[in-house]
């Protein structure tokens, strides 16, 4: 049975994402993104699912530093709605709770609940870990914010579902594998992820990106970050619509090769149906 690695503990939202993106696959928890990538390299996992951005928190910095040198290829994307649950030991009433444990980011996403119940917010290493701690303590005074999967795996009761302040809290993941798996060139729903560098000079980025406009290529994401603390060049990670072998994107990439450095295609893959709300 195939295995997919993720960063986090069993029951983490990344674990849930793996189960939904790859039904029937074995999920492999890893302590870090680097460890998940290494699990694919050493054959313990066939693929990895790596969080790259969140609709509330923004980009995931670790991925930007690790993915370019990971030696893996993006073969898909997955969008996972973050649905926070209020979890407690069986028999707990909401009025029993005094302390709420979860990751600091999740605490910031359930402020209304904390105010409503007048709870003490206690930051923990991660959401699934908070659920594990609450189960271990067995105290009705302590509850956790985590996924329903974390509650199920730790024998906790879901007291409330969807307690997050924002209904649009969604995390996007890159699905990565040892070898590329480009879609058929005839498909019209392909995304391509690129990496490039430009010098910090006047008009450098304008010159590099002009080809996309000239050839009608839509860019769905662009992120910039410095390389090794240098102020002389900037690296860009981009998602663009189209297949590298389709004429329009192929022409834009040819121009990009002349106006940027270290151009690399990290992957081409089908666009998720979640982008269109289906």
| Catalytic residue IDs | 171, 173
**Residue 86, CB half-sphere, CA atoms under 13 Å: how many?**
28
Question: How do strand 142-146 and strand 219-226 relate by DSSP bridges?
Answer: unpaired
Helix locations, the chain, DSSP H: 13-21, 33-41, 61-66, 104-108, 111-117, 127-137, 148-153, 204-214, 247-259
Which of 138, 96, 91 is closest to 117 using CA atoms?
96
Sign of the CA dihedral running 101, 107, 112, 114: positive
Is residue 231 within 8 Å of residue 200, measured between CB atoms? yes
């Amino acid at each position: 049975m195939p295995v997919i690695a993720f960063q986090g503990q069993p029951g983490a939202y990344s674990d849930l994402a793996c189960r939904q993106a790859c039904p029937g696959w074995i999920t492999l928890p890893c302590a870090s993104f680097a460890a998940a990538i290494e699990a694919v390299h050493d054959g313990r996992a066939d693929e990895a699912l790596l969080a790259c951005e969140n609709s509330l928190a923004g980009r995931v910095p670790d991925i930007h530093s690790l993915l370019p040198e990971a030696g893996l290829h993006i073969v898909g994307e997955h969008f996972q709605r973050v649905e926070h649950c209020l979890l407690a030991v069986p028999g707990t009433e909401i009025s029993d709770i005094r302390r709420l444990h979860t990751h600091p980011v999740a605490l910031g996403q359930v402020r209304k609940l904390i105010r409503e119940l007048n709870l003490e917010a206690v930051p923990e290493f991660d959401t699934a870990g908070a659920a594990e701690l609450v189960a271990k303590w067995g105290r009705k005074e302590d509850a956790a914010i985590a996924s329903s999967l974390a509650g199920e795996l730790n024998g906790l009761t879901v007291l409330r579902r969807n307690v997050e302040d924002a209904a649009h809290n969604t995390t996007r993941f890159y699905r990565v594998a040892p070898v590329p798996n480009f879609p058929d060139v005839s498909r019209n729903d392909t995304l391509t992820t690129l990496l490039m560098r430009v010098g910090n000079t006047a008009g450098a980025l304008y010159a590099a990106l002009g080809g996309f406009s000239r050839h009608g290529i839509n860019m769905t994401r662009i992120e910039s970050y410095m390389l090794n603390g240098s102020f002389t060049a900037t690296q860009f990670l981009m998602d663009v619509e189209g297949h590298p072998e389709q004429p329009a994107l192929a022409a834009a990439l040819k121009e990009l090769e002349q106006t940027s450095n270290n151009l690399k295609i990290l992957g081409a893959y089908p666009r998720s149906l979640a982008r269109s709300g289906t």
